[in-house]
Amino acid sequence: MVSVEDYVARIEGTCGEEKDVIVVFKYDKKDEAIANILKKAKLKNTIAGIIFELTFQDISFRLYTSGKAIFRSIKNKQELNNLLANLLL
Amino acid sequence: MDIEAIRQDFPILKRKINNSPLIYFDNAATTQKPRQVINAISDFYENHNANVHRAVHTLSLEATDFYEKSREKIAKFINAKDWPEIVFVRGTTEAINLVAYSWGLSNLGKGDEVLVSLMEHHSNIVPWEITSKLKGFTIKYAKVNADATLDYDDFESKFSRNTKIACLSHVSNVTGVINDVKRIAKVAHDNGALMLVDGAQSVPHLAVDVQDLDMDFLAFSGHKMLGPTGIGVLYGKKELLEKMQPFQGGGEMIKEVAFSQDKGCSIIWNDPPWKFEAGTPNICGAVGLAEAVKYLEAVGMDEVLNHEKALTKYAVERMKECSKVTIYGSNDLSKKCGIIPFTVKGLSSHDVALICDNYGIMIRSGFHCAQPLHQQVLKLPSSDRASFYIYNTKEEVDRFVEVLKEIEQL
């Protein structure tokens, strides 16, 4: 059974007052992860097709074709896990 | 200075990141390594590896020779009076901790004061905060002006007869501002205090003469000056190091550990610098650092600084073309190294760094381990930082500005 861990290599809290969270996707699964996310999230903006500004379940985030996503206003780890599960699986 | 020739020495600069040529602008965090340093490390492990100081066999003597010659090389590089003033540590952080614990625990107590500035890296704040809790001394924080330069009047006014040590970064790791540490050292000494300088961002970028600047302690890291990670230096005046207690206990740092049934254990410390180098040191790290110093000497430290200043001036001018970009810190580029802190209106620093990453440009985002400076002076939740070194070019700056202009469209 596929899980969030199959796609996510690392989750990092950022340094700074903004408590953003950066999700780094596994290199060999990043294209699949990005495709899944783009299917489900609502696209607000994009730059040159490599950076996507998206919303999903009232949470805005940015997705990068380098295989990273930055989420803000995430309350806790559980909320992020649920969000990633809904986006990726 | 032939930058193209220099770039040929750095294999990593041929890499592509996210399908774009690597542009490495995170040099204040760590620098890339030239082939000469990589080869010196390989050569050591392939041909000379053994533990130092502890054996009579040929390899050990060779390794010891490499290690101690590295120390001599670094002593000359910063114009120390003598090689025993060079203590090998893991990096700047460990060097400052060494002083805070070895010197601080024996020389600081209730009523004493340690003077630092609000622009310090956490590594020049936290060790003093920890030891102040243990010993009850006070830490005074000197102000920083709105343009992120040191408020010299405030710093100097905070000296008192209770001040035992002043601790100041030579170059800010956030803004690149060069502090006049010679001036502060003189005031410190006039007040009977010592002077510790955090040289993490200065020794790699400009000629530092510890005798001319009259520093009592200087801390710096190898990996920020083309050397390997895990090696750094604490310079300390010999007479101070001789009086200080060891930082850690173990092998190498003792002359004798005698035991008798009636008197128990009696230990005689080794002489500096070995008194402060417990256990097997980072031998190969020292060898790599010495090779990095050799490389920088061949380029010339004045050339290094001039190149960085010219590139910073060019980058600042080009970045001003970006309407949503704000650059922080002093406008006086003559007193700055190659560090540019900035923000892009409407975007978090991490967004900007991630977007740059997408284009193969490596910059730093966050507090850069200087939260007090961000919150008390710059009034920023975080910032982006582009920092340059000898292998960076105007063409890379041009590409960076192009990307910033694209970012502004978001």
Q: Where does a domain end: B297, B320, B353?
A: B297
pLDDT at B330: 86
pLDDT at B21: 97
Chain A to chain B Cβ contacts (< 8 Å)? 63
User: Do residues B268 and B346 both lie within one domain?
Assistant: no
Contact B405, B322 (CB under 8 A): yes
Q: CA-nearest residue of chain A to B406?
A: A47
Residue reference for tokens 């950022």: A14
CATH number at residue B393: 3.90.1150.10
Distance from CA of B382 to the nearest CA of A (A): 5
Three-state SS at B253: coil
Q: Kindly indicate the confidence band of residue B409, based on its pLDDT and cuts at 50, 70 and 90.
A: confident
User: Do residues B26 and B60 both lie within one domain?
Assistant: no
Give A-chain residues touching B357 at CB under 8 angstroms: 64, 66, 68
Domain range for B332 is 3-32+300-407
User: Do residues B369 and B400 both lie within one domain?
Assistant: yes
Of B18, B351, B409, the CB nearest to A62: B351
User: Do residues B109 and B192 both lie within one domain?
Assistant: yes
Rounded Cα gap, residues B222 and B74, in angstroms: 10
User: Do residues B16 and B49 both lie within one domain?
Assistant: no
Q: Chain A window 1-20: which residues touch B at a Cβ cutoff of 8 Å?
A: 14-18, 20
Write the pLDDT tens digit of every residue in B266-303. 999 999 999 999 999 999 999 999 999 999 999 999 99
For a pLDDT cut of 70, what percent of chain A falls above it? 100
For residue B273, say if its preceding peptide bond is cis, omega within 30 degrees of 0.
Answer: yes
Rounded Cα gap, residues B22 and B16, in angstroms: 5
Q: Where does a domain end: B266, B297, B328?
A: B297
Rounded Cα gap, residues B363 and B349, in angstroms: 10
CATH number at residue B239: 3.40.640.10
Write the pLDDT tens digit of every residue in B168-212. 999 999 999 999 999 999 999 999 999 999 999 999 999 999 999
Q: What are the boundaries of each domain within chain A?
A: 4-73
Q: What is the mean pLDDT of chain B?
A: 95
User: Do residues B73 and B13 both lie within one domain?
Assistant: no
Torsion-angle region of residue A24: left (phi > 0), alpha (psi -120 to 50) or beta?
Answer: beta
Residue reference for tokens 């417990």: B278
Rounded Cα gap, residues B87 and B218, in angstroms: 10
User: Do residues B25 and B60 both lie within one domain?
Assistant: no
The two beta strands, B113-117 and B138-142, are parallel
Cα–Cα–Cα angle for B347, B351, B357, rounded to 5 degrees: 140
Site from A27, A30, A46, A70 to mutate, B interface, most B CB atoms within 10 angstroms: A70
Residue B56 has pLDDT above 90, yes or no: no
What stretches of B40-135 adopt beta strand conformation (E)? Answer: 86-89, 113-117
Site from B18, B121, B348, B408 to mutate, A interface, most A CB atoms within 10 angstroms: B348
The mean pLDDT value for B77-83 works out to 97
Identify the residue with better confidence: B100 or A57: B100
Count: domains in chain B: 2
Least confident of A60-69, B9-18, B374-383: B374-383
User: Do residues B394 and B283 both lie within one domain?
Assistant: no
